[in-house]
Amino acid sequence: MTKTITKFVEKLGWKISNYSWDGNAHLFYVEEPEDLEIKFEELRLAFKKVSDLGTENVFPMLKRAGDDLILVLIPQPSFDYVRSKMNLYLLFATIFSTTWAGALWWASYSDASVLDQSSVWLRVLITPDVLLMGFLTYSLPLMAILGAHEMGHYYYARKHNLDASLPFFLPMPPMLFILGTMGAFISIREPIPNRKALLDVGASGPIAGLFVAIPVTLLGFWLTEQNAVPTPLDSGASMYLGSSLFWEFMYIQFSTFLTPSGDYLSHPVVLAGWAGFFVTALNLMPAGQLDGGHIARAVLGPKSNGISLAVMVLLVFMAFYGIPGFFPPYMGWAVYAVLIFFLGTSHPPPSEEISKLGKSRIGVGILTGLILVLTFIPSPLVFGESQFSMDITEDETNFIPVLGESNSTSLVILNNGKFDGWDNITLNLDKVENYTLTLEVEYVNVSESNKQFNSSSVDFSKYVYWDESGENLTLNLTSKSYVNLTLTITPIEEPTVGEISFDLRITSRTERVYTRTFVLVTEA
């Protein structure tokens, strides 16, 4: 076996001065050829084609040890990769999971009726129109971005004569991850031959994905303006998507061509573009086996391992502290740091790391670093509290009614939200048979003037008024203002033995409903 390999190497023009076997690999001490990069690539491709060297694949590597140049030939067992349809199955599964996520985005965007039903996570799957729009407005553009990213890797892997698989997409139910996918990857089943191949394969994916993400995002901006779905005044505690420098730049440039006419909800196509930029930045981090790790190793060599550790430390810091004074913490970075750790923080060297990378590829490496800075989102998900809130207190909620007598309780409604403007609050009482229910406003305390107004005050009608039916009471309260009311309950017939409940509903202008339930208990 050894003699066969030796003759094979010498036949390809390599001059061998010494040989040894370290128990794992053949070590040939060779003279450095004039065109080292070309000669090594010829050797690598020749080993891929031969079939008479035994049952093992042989992968060559070049190392320097002082003044010696060592050609390392690593025998590895032959693997008969099963020709399965796993790529196709995962593709269909990811289309399904992203369509599912897109249906939820579309239902929220279009305020579809399915939102009012229970188990909305599942009901969108049996709502054909919502499901179709989820595919068209989210899954399709997102899969185009991810597909372009992975095919960029695949094209350059094949261009460098590497044994690479088609993309494996990773589906994820949207209740576990809102994007509906964890991305995709290709499998390269042999060592990367040199620094040029390492950089080309690493940089091609993010750049290709970015070329698709840009027009998708611009289309999303245009659709946002064309559909013009107003943002709700307040939807309670909300989740907001963070933005990057490049995202802000694109929106500003877009606005110069089509001036936004209002503050509208982002179209789901925008979310697909946002996901594309987010994935680009994630992959370009110079750590471990990420695309950025490939690029860093190609440009910086072994020094990239130190940068990889620094990235992990920075991610953990941002998970707990964010960027103090600028961006809040995001715990997802800690999860990502753990993932990088288990995938490996040190990037293995290419088979031949001696030849130079070249100025043009160094330029590409610098460009990808710039793309990382411009597309990185320090706080991808920001959770904000509602600007509107109501605090309601009452003296009693349970009563024992007696014919000819009235029960009453005092209520205080405080607008403890942070919104500075007026909040129109509507009060509505259930009707109860054989009972008279009345609400009376004792006074309103206005926070900005710290004055109280009752029914005898000239300005009382600014804060309290009934609608034409006389059934709905409206209160205008600014932040920190409150109102004192009295609820009176009077039976007009002998109360029936048993328990009767009724609700007082308090609706803010954000359409959030607060409910207080009162109970009338009559014993035998």
pLDDT in tens, 143-161: 999 999 999 999 999 999 8
CA-CA distance, 500 to 520, in Å (whole number)?
A: 5
- How far from chain centre, in Å, is Cα 183? 11
**pLDDT for 286:** 94
Task: Tell me if 327 sits within 8 A of 379, measured CB to CB.
Answer: yes
pLDDT in tens, 99-157: 999 999 999 888 888 877 778 888 888 899 999 999 999 999 999 999 999 999 999 99
| Residue 344 CA neighbour count, 13 Å, CB half | 8
Which residues, listed in sequence order, are joined to residue 69 by a DSSP beta bridge?
A: 30, 64
pLDDT in tens, 261-318: 777 888 999 999 999 999 999 999 999 889 999 999 999 988 998 999 999 999 999 9
Report residue 251 as tokens: 């929106």
Average pLDDT (418-443) is 81
CA-CA distance, 24 to 455, in Å (whole number)?
A: 95
CA-CA distance, 144 to 408, in Å (whole number)?
A: 64
pLDDT-derived band at 238 (thresholds 50, 70, 90) equals low
pLDDT in tens, 400-426: 898 888 999 999 988 887 765 556 788
Average pLDDT (240-250) is 88
Average pLDDT (440-444) is 90
Q: How far is CA 26 from CA 49, 56, 75, 232, 316, in A?
A: 19, 13, 8, 69, 42
User: Rounded mean pLDDT of the chain?
Assistant: 86
Q: CB under 8 Å to 139, separation ≥6 — which residues?
A: 95, 98, 99, 101, 102, 180, 272
**pLDDT for 474:** 85
Other beta carbons less than 10 A from residue 410's beta carbon: 13
Which ranges of 234-358 would DSSP assign to H, the alpha helix?
A: 245-257, 268-283, 291-300, 304-321, 332-343
pLDDT in tens, 4-59: 788 888 888 888 888 888 778 888 898 888 888 888 888 888 888 775 555 467 88
Could you tell me the domains of the chain? 2-77 (3.30.1360), 86-376 (no CATH), 390-522 (2.60.40.740)
pLDDT in tens, 160-193: 989 888 899 999 998 888 889 988 888 888 889 9
Report residue 29 as tokens: 């001490």
Best CA proximity match to 43, nearest among 57, 61, 21: 61
Best CA proximity match to 374, nearest among 257, 250, 275: 250
| Residue 50 CA neighbour count, 13 Å, CB half | 19
Task: Provide the whole-model pTM.
Answer: 0.75
